[in-house]
């Protein structure tokens, strides 16, 4: 993946580090990777949290990272109907671009998915 991207770009460098970290340390609760043709757009699948009405479900979504990542927060969209968020619509989370004042550059895609 690295050979197709400008490694001098801080966002690209950070994203590639995150991809590597997630490949080396996968989660039991989610799976995520950027699209092959757009490193700023990620697809994810996440398990519904235990002891909730979402337990047992697998929810698919999209993360859009800004060109200024990690200094600006990502946006999130769920693609699977879930009864809480409208599908195909950016969702309002405290760690999303709806609330950039809460975002910390030390956070990662993993942080966002486990928040």
- Number of DSSP helices (H) and strands (E) in the chain, helices first: 2, 4
Question: How is residue 94 annotated by DSSP?
Answer: T
Q: At 49, list the tokens.
A: 């949290």
Return the active site residues.
Answer: 92
Tokens for 43? 């697809």
What is the token pair recorded at 61?
């979504």
Pairing of strands 75-78, 38-47: unpaired
Helix spans in 1-115 (H): 10-24, 109-114
């Amino acid at each position: 993946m690295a050979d197709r991207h400008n490694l001098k770009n801080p966002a690209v460098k950070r994203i590639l580090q995150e991809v590597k970290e997630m490949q080396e340390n996968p989660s039991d609760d989610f799976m995520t990777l950027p699209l092959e043709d757009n490193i700023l757009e990620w697809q994810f699948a996440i398990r519904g949290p235990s002891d909730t009405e979402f337990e047992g479900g697998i929810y698919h979504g999209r993360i859009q990272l800004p060109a200024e990542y990690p200094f600006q927060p990502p946006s999130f969209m769920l693609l699977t109907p879930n009864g809480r968020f409208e599908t195909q619509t950016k969702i309002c989370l405290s760690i999303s671009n709806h609330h950039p004042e809460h975002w910390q550059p030390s956070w990662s895609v993993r942080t966002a998915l486990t928040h």
